[in-house]
Structure 1
Amino acid sequence: MKALVLSGGAGTRLRPITHTSAKQLVPVANKAVLFYGLESIAEAGITDVGMIVGDTAAEIEEAVGDGSQFGLKVTYIPQERPLGLAHAVLIARDYLGDDDFVMYLGDNFIVGGITDLVDEFRGNRPDAQILLTRVADPRAFGVAELDHSGQVIGLEEKPDRPKSDLALVGVYLFTPLIHEAVRAIEPSWRGELEITHAIQHLIDSRADVRSTVITGYWKDTGNVGDMLEVNRMVLEGVDRRIDGDVDTTSETIGRVVVEEGARIVNSRIVGPAVIGSGTVISNSYVGPFTSIAENCRITDSEVEFSIVLRDSSIQGVGRIEASLIGRHVEVTPAPSVPSAHRFVLGDHSKVQITS
């Protein structure tokens, strides 16, 4: 069994971060989202991975390499431009051959991995197996319709009027029968070959398409809010570890990770939080659910529920929260400017102002 990992999207919802960085490499708890997926694939006993790459191919290849750091063998498959998930399957045909495979969206995050799902697929070997989860607004996802017995009877891509609240999670398992389906469909109104259409083709052809509804944690890390939420969830599971230097005037409370080479000076760190190697926190407060990457400088500032990427500095800022700060960023106070109040007040007025 092989894996097909999709890492070619433009990441428009994470701009401006993704103007200069692949969305799959934005870190949560100081590790790229993509790496969690690759680790899950390796834990499921799959070693051969085809990785779909686009405009950010060079950055993805530099980060992942040949895959050996994850116990994988990675082959890169270039995609000229994002033309749909089914298009990714289409261009990977030669690589996949006649093997079963799991397709994993590189910007998705699933707690608990995919080992049980892969084992279930290997044991039953349906023609396709999809992962579903209930969402508040299914209009933003591919949506599945099940009959009274739980059988998949229909799929729609981002419908205006969803027939259920069951969204497709970014993990799919297929036998080689899917290759016939992706060749049979036409581009959607979006100009893309939709995987939902290909799976619907299998359903219409009476193929064995099964679903698993998960109740655990899943996120499509496509926007800042989701990134911060995944970061929060991952940090909930970290164990306290202080490998860097924390001076006697500083305090670390709870599940705090201070990587080797990091320094905490006259500061307070309240976990869960991760401080990357080479980072210096001085005269500052770092609050819960914060990840600060390597080689950052936080001085005379407060940061909470945020992600700060490598080589950035925050100096003299009263408080930052719920923020995603990119690489090589400088955050400083704005220059003070004179302030004044201007009035035209009638007779007998009473005015209260804050000076």
Structure 2
Amino acid sequence: MKGLILCAGRGTRLHPFSYSQPKTLLPVANHPVLHSCIRKLCEVGVHDIGIVIHPSHVQIPPLVGDGSKFGASITFIEQQVPLGIANAVQLAQPFLRDDPFILLLGDNLLMDSLHGLTRVFTSTQSDGVVMLSKVDRPQDYGIAEVKEGRLVGVEEKPEKPKSNLAVIGAYLFTNPIFESIAQLQPSARGEYEITDAIQSMIDRGYHIAHAITEGKYTDVGTIDRWLEANRWMLTRELGDTYRVGATSVVENCEITGPVLIGEGCTIKNCRLGPYVSIQDGVHLENCVHIENSILLENSSLQGVAWKVQNSVFGREAHLQGQTDDSSGVFILSDKSSIQIPHFNKEDV
């Protein structure tokens, strides 16, 4: 069995951060989401992995390498034009050949392992398996219709959903998927939809099974979802504790976990947490309170006399200022800078 991870998306909802790097490399609990996908595949014994990337995503190959650090072998496949998930799978056919394969979306983070997916495939001897999860707003997802325990239909963002079981971006397919993809027409948004390919397999009489996950999952596709994923991954890894990199200096700080601090950081006179991820080389000094935030490499905050929360600071972003007690929310992209002067209430 092989693995396929799709990383060619543009990530427009995560601008400005996805201008400078693919969204699949954005860190959650200080690890790129893509690394989590690779580890999930290796956990179920899948070590021969293809990664579909856009030619502009030059950062991905150096950060992943040949896969040996994960115990995997990595093959990169280019998708020149983002024409949808099914198109990306079709481009990967020469790599996948006739082997069954697990398909993951590179910006999706799953709490559960993929063992449920593989167990269902083995026990049902099916032609494919789709991972599903119950959702509150089925109109926002690809929705599965299940009758008598059997998957009979899949519809993308239906106005009148036939269930609350959403397709969440983890699949297992066999070779017939390629014939279905070859017969597809572009959808209204100009893409070749994997849900249409799955429906085609069902219509042609193939058995598509399903596995339902109870664990948390999210696509890290917006700032809010990124922060949410960071919260539950920090909780899973650290509980209510905190971890500080061996080469970092932390002085006179109050820390409420979970908080994760990378290497080479200098943090003085700050209150941190809960739910804060700090990557390598960050400098924090005299910050009243930072919580539920992500600070990327080499960012710095100094003299911040108000509570910073629900915020993301990009690489080398810099915030400095003094002001009266208040509340601040900031989304700073890479190499941004904000300096806030001190002022008195009577000045405003």
Q: 1:229-270: per-residue Cα shift (whole Å, max 9, x none)?
A: 111111112248xxxxxxxxxxxxx51100110110111111
Which one of 305, 311, 324 corresponds to residue 323 of structure 1? 311
CA contact (8 A) 1:283 1:300 kept: yes
Equivalent in the alignment of 2:235: 236
SS of the residue 1:172 aligns to: strand
Per-residue Cα deviation, 1:119-173 (whole angstroms, up to 9, x for no partner): 33134331111011111222222111122x1221211112233222211011000
Cross-structure match for 2:325: none
The two structures have a TM-score, normalised by structure 2, of: 0.90
Q: CA deviation at 1:60?
A: 0.8
Of 295, 298, 303, 1:311 maps to 298
Give the C-alpha shift of residue 329 in structure 1. 0.5
> Contact 2:11–2:18 (CA<8 Å) still a contact in 1?
yes
Do 1:284 and 1:298's aligned partners in 2 also have CA atoms closer than 8 Å? yes
Q: Distance in 1 between matches of 2:122 and 2:68?
A: 24
Query: How far apart are the structure 2 equivalents of 1:125 and 1:57?
Result: 37
> Which is further off, 130-139 or 170-179?
130-139
Between 322-331 and 158-167, report the one with greater CA deviation: 158-167
CA distance in 2 between partners of 1:92 and 1:28 (Å): 27
Aligned to 1:101: 101
Out of 270, 284, 305, the position equivalent to 2:270 is: 284
Q: Is contact 1:273–1:291 with CA below 8 Å preserved after alignment?
A: yes
Q: Secondary structure at the match of 2:152?
A: strand
**Partners of 1:57 and 1:74 in 2: how far apart?**
16
Query: What does the per-residue CA deviation read over 1:201-237, in whole Å, with 9 as the maximum and x for residues that have no partner?
Result: 0111111011112111111111111111111111112
Unaligned runs of 5+ in 2: 322-339
The answer to whether residue 37 in structure 2 is matched with residue 37 in structure 1 is: yes
Q: Which amino acid aligns with 2:291?
A: E
Q: Relative to structure 1, is the Cα distance of residues 337 and 266 closer, same or farther in structure 2, using a 3 angstrom cutoff?
A: closer
| 1:2-59 deviations in Å (ceiling 9; x for gaps) | 0110011111111111111110111111111111111010111011111100144311
> Partners in 1 of 2:283 and 2:33 — Cα distance?
23
Amino acid at match of 1:223: T
| Structure 1 segments (4+ residues) deviating >4 Å | 337-341
3-state DSSP of counterpart to 2:126: coil
Structure 1: tracts of 5 or more residues without a match: 241-253, 342-354
Q: Is the 8 A contact 2:247 2:265 kept in 1?
A: yes
Tell me which residue corresponds to 1:297: 283
Alpha-carbon shift at residue 276 of structure 1 (Å) = 0.6
Determine whether 1:262 maps to 2:261: no
- Give the C-alpha shift of residue 299 in structure 1: 0.9
SS in structure 1 of the partner of residue 237 of structure 2: coil
Which residue of structure 1 aligns with residue 119 of structure 2?
A: 119
Q: Show the counterpart of 2:130.
A: 130
TM-score after normalising by structure 1: 0.89
What count of residue pairs does the alignment treat as equivalent?
Answer: 328
What is the match of residue 245 of structure 1? Answer: none
Q: Which has the larger radius of gyration?
A: 1
The equivalent of 2:61 in structure 1 is 61
Tell me how far apart the structure 2 counterparts of residues 26 and 237 of structure 1 sit (CA, whole Å).
Answer: 18
Counterpart-to-counterpart distance in 1, 2:133 and 2:238: 29
Quick one: distance in 2 between partners of 1:39 and 1:3? 11
Asked if structure 2 preserves the Cα contact closer than 8 Å seen for 1:21 and 1:56, the reply is: no
| Alpha-carbon distance in 1 for matches of 2:57, 2:16 | 18
Q: Indicate conservation of the 8 Å contact 1:83/1:191, yes or no.
A: yes
> Are 2:322 and 1:335 aligned?
no
Q: Percent identity?
A: 38
